[in-house]
Chain A
């Protein structure tokens, strides 16, 4: 069986979101099938400017075909168009125009998919909201599998997606909440779909002591891992953490790992370490009391799964249905909607080591049941097998 994975960006330098999710799935499925990646030359997810060379190259033993982006995205223009279609009544053509602006505008990629239909058994598209998924699935719906990686944002309500969600042969969802949302939006329950997600691997040499020594961190700390961004709820986390520190006597520190797009408050207990290697990231997680997950929108928080894989509890923002659902299903994390809930939940977790241990164990069990690579691989293969049988 030959599979083509179609994704907006692909490369070892891209270390988050749907792109990393796609790369990990590709690298694990190559044991079972012939896999190839069809993507663009883009690296920057804001402008989609061509960065990688055009043509075919090997990335970690996987063949990757890159197609040029013919027009970079102008964020200002895109913002204007998006605001217009979100705030006003509009025509379908305007939604198509939005899709063109959303990009990455790589028509050669779509032409390649159309011309090489017979070379592949299935095309697995990642991220529903981009140009490649919309036109790729419309070109070959009978050979398409969609991994939507959808969050509950306004864009999903556009009418073009309602139609799109009824077209692929199968869906691979990240969470039950994502599946329910897409089912209710497009009434596509009749299309084959399974909740799968993505696995993770813990590096061999993880050491909390080394991490503390290397970054000069003493005492108890909680950790946030990911892009430090307004959209990720970091601003609210900083406010809540500082207010908590004012109201309660505690030495706990907040350690931040990830690149920042936000002004981090100058507080002696908020420590920003920047972007770290996988080993250091897991070492940091190993020494932390818990993971803070303040994001409002997530289709699947990979770092939450990593925390559970390390046996650490999570304090999540319950505005994000997926995070709340995962906490409830795993019984491995508390959640908050406002400061008062944050205060109580944070205090409970900080003060009770027994609660943290019990939740950490639950997280590890949940992770082993649903998110080890064996489980993920077998779920993908099962979907492909069911599609073959239906054919």
Chain B
């Protein structure tokens, strides 16, 4: 019986009569892979509608005065804005941030240099080891050649030894024959 429990198992199919752990884990892995890694916490939804404009009242004395002052100060308004608004502080903060970032970059550069030098040293060590390995390989090759030559020489010596053995046997036979001949001659001369 194959059951699909969407509420609890959320898309993982499980055959409860014949549980297959490998299959379940495969589905779990696929499910994890299909999910976004960092799910952001839900934020309260803000209203999309702007608040309605307030009805404008008739201009009073204060309003007139304000308009006059604004006209007078208009030429120097950028300076006033710069000093009054928090632009100055923001600028200071930004410069501070840039300074810290620069310091961090300097630190990282030094660290990269150090790391590079370490990697370089390790590479040197690896190269040395490789050279050593090559030497060992060459030495092994020499030993191999040496053993090969020794086998060849030993084979030659063995053949030589066989030849000498053969010659010895022939000479033994000759010696035997000569001995017999000597005896025959002696018997004929002194017999």
Whether both chains belong to one complex is answered with yes
Q: Is the CB of B28 within 8 A of A341?
A: yes
Chain A residue at minimal CB-CB distance from B33: A340
Given the known inter-chain contacts A340-B32, A348-B28, please indicate yes or no for A331 contacting B9, CB distance below 8 A.
no
Given the known inter-chain contacts A351-B9, A352-B8, A355-B16, please indicate yes or no for A331 contacting B28, CB distance below 8 A.
no
Q: How far is the CB of B152 from chain A (nearest CB, A)?
A: 34
Q: Is the CB of B32 within 8 A of A331?
A: no
Report the bound CA distance from A351 to B8 in whole Å. Answer: 6
Q: Is the CB of B16 within 8 A of A358?
A: yes
Given the known inter-chain contacts A328-B22, A334-B21, please indicate yes or no for A344 contacting B8, CB distance below 8 A.
no
Given the known inter-chain contacts A351-B8, A351-B9, A355-B14, please indicate yes or no for A345 contacting B20, CB distance below 8 A.
no
For A354, what are the chain B residues with a Cβ–Cβ distance below 8 Å? Answer: 3, 16
A335 located at the interface, meaning its Cβ lies under 8 Å from any Cβ of chain B in the complex: yes
Q: Is the CB of A344 within 8 A of B16?
A: no
For B19, give its contact among A340, A345, A351, A358 (CB under 8 Å).
Answer: A358
Q: Is the CB of A334 within 8 A of B24?
A: yes
Q: Is the CB of A327 within 8 A of B8?
A: no
A333 located at the interface, meaning its Cβ lies under 8 Å from any Cβ of chain B in the complex: yes
Chain A residue at minimal CB-CB distance from B32: A340
Chain A 330-348, CB-CB to B under 8 Å as 1, else 0, gives 1111110000110011001
Chain B residue at minimal CB-CB distance from A340: B32
A359 located at the interface, meaning its Cβ lies under 8 Å from any Cβ of chain B in the complex: yes
A304 located at the interface, meaning its Cβ lies under 8 Å from any Cβ of chain B in the complex: no
Q: Is the CB of B9 within 8 A of A335?
A: no
Q: Is the CB of B28 within 8 A of A344?
A: yes
Report the bound CA distance from A31 to B87 in whole Å. Answer: 92
Report the bound CA distance from A358 to B19 in whole Å. Answer: 7
The A contact surface, by secondary structure, is helix
For A127, what are the chain B residues with a Cβ–Cβ distance below 8 Å? Answer: none
Q: Is the CB of B19 within 8 A of A341?
A: no
Report the bound CA distance from A84 to B40 in whole Å. Answer: 47
CB within 8 Å of A: which B2-49 residues: 3, 5, 8-9, 12, 14, 16-17, 19-22, 24-25, 28-29, 31-32, 35
Q: Is the CB of A348 within 8 A of B32?
A: no
For B12, what are the chain A residues with a Cβ–Cβ distance below 8 Å? Answer: 348
Report the bound CA distance from A300 to B154 in whole Å. Answer: 57
A144 located at the interface, meaning its Cβ lies under 8 Å from any Cβ of chain B in the complex: no
A174 located at the interface, meaning its Cβ lies under 8 Å from any Cβ of chain B in the complex: no
For B24, what are the chain A residues with a Cβ–Cβ distance below 8 Å? Answer: 334, 348
CB within 8 Å of A: which B84-140 residues: none
Q: Is the CB of A331 within 8 A of B29?
A: no
Given the known inter-chain contacts A340-B32, A344-B31, A358-B19, please indicate yes or no for A334 contacting B5, CB distance below 8 A.
no
For A358, what are the chain B residues with a Cβ–Cβ distance below 8 Å? Answer: 16-17, 19
For B31, what are the chain A residues with a Cβ–Cβ distance below 8 Å? Answer: 344
Q: How far is the CB of A9 from chain B (nearest CB, A)?
A: 35
Chain A 10-32, CB-CB to B under 8 Å as 1, else 0, gives 00000000000000000000000
Chain A residue at minimal CB-CB distance from B7: A351
For B5, what are the chain A residues with a Cβ–Cβ distance below 8 Å? Answer: 352
For B9, give its contact among A328, A330, A332, A348 (CB under 8 Å).
Answer: A348
Report the bound CA distance from A304 to B25 in whole Å. Answer: 19
Q: Is the CB of B21 within 8 A of A328?
A: yes
A362 located at the interface, meaning its Cβ lies under 8 Å from any Cβ of chain B in the complex: yes
For B17, what are the chain A residues with a Cβ–Cβ distance below 8 Å? Answer: 358
Q: Is the CB of A352 within 8 A of B32?
A: no
Q: Is the CB of A335 within 8 A of B25?
A: yes
Chain A residue at minimal CB-CB distance from B12: A348
For B9, what are the chain A residues with a Cβ–Cβ distance below 8 Å? Answer: 348, 351-352
For B8, what are the chain A residues with a Cβ–Cβ distance below 8 Å? Answer: 351-352
Q: Is the CB of A345 within 8 A of B25?
A: yes
Report the bound CA distance from A348 to B11 in whole Å. Answer: 11
Report the bound CA distance from A329 to B167 in whole Å. Answer: 76
Chain A 53-95, CB-CB to B under 8 Å as 1, else 0, gives 0000000000000000000000000000000000000000000
Report the bound CA distance from A344 to B34 in whole Å. Answer: 13
Binding site for B on A (CB under 8 A): 327-328, 330-335, 340-341, 344-345, 348, 351-352, 354-355, 358-359, 362
Shortest Cβ-Cβ A-B pairs, 5 listed: A344-B28, A331-B19, A340-B32, A351-B8, A358-B16
Given contacts A351-B8, A358-B17, 19 further A-B contacts (CB under 8 A): A332-B21, A333-B21, A334-B28, A335-B21, A335-B25, A340-B32, A341-B29, A345-B25, A348-B9, A348-B12, A348-B24, A348-B28, A352-B5, A352-B8, A354-B3, A354-B16, A355-B14, A355-B19, A359-B19
List 16 contacting pairs A-B, 8 Å CB cutoff, sorted by A. Answer: A327-B21, A328-B21, A331-B19, A333-B21, A334-B21, A335-B21, A340-B35, A341-B32, A344-B31, A345-B28, A351-B8, A352-B8, A352-B9, A358-B16, A358-B17, A359-B19
